[in-house]
Homo-oligomer: A and B are copies of this chain.
Amino acid sequence: MNTGPSDVLPAAGLYEVVHRRRDVRSQFTGEPVPGDVLARVLAAAHAAPSVGLSQPWDFVLVEDPGTRRAFHDHVRRERDAFAASLTGAEAERFARIKIDGVLESGLSVVVTYDAERGGPAVLGRHAIADTGLYSVCLAIQNLWLAATAEGLGVGWVSFYREPFVRRLLGIPDGVRPVAWLCLGPVTHTETVPDLERHGWRSRLPLETVVHREHW
A interface residues, Cβ below 8 angstroms from B:
1-7, 9-11, 13-21, 23, 29, 31-34, 37, 39-40, 42-44, 46-49, 51-55, 57-64, 67, 78, 81-82, 85-86, 90, 94, 97, 99, 118, 121, 123-128, 130-131, 133-134, 137-138, 140-142, 144-146, 148-152, 156, 158-162, 169-172, 175, 178-179, 185-187, 189, 193, 195-196, 200-204, 206, 209-215
Contacts and interface: CB of A to CB of B under 8 A. Distances in A.
Contact of A40 (B15, B29, B60, B142): B15
30 contacts: A1-B31, A2-B29, A2-B187, A5-B151, A6-B150, A10-B14, A14-B145, A18-B44, A18-B47, A49-B156, A53-B200, A54-B201, A55-B204, A58-B210, A58-B211, A59-B209, A60-B215, A67-B213, A82-B126, A85-B121, A86-B121, A99-B123, A123-B200, A127-B159, A137-B137, A137-B138, A141-B141, A141-B142, A142-B145, A175-B215
> Secondary structure of the A side of the interface?
mixed
Nearest to A8: B151
Contacts of A152: 6
Given A60-B214, A141-B142, A161-B127, A186 B49 contact: no
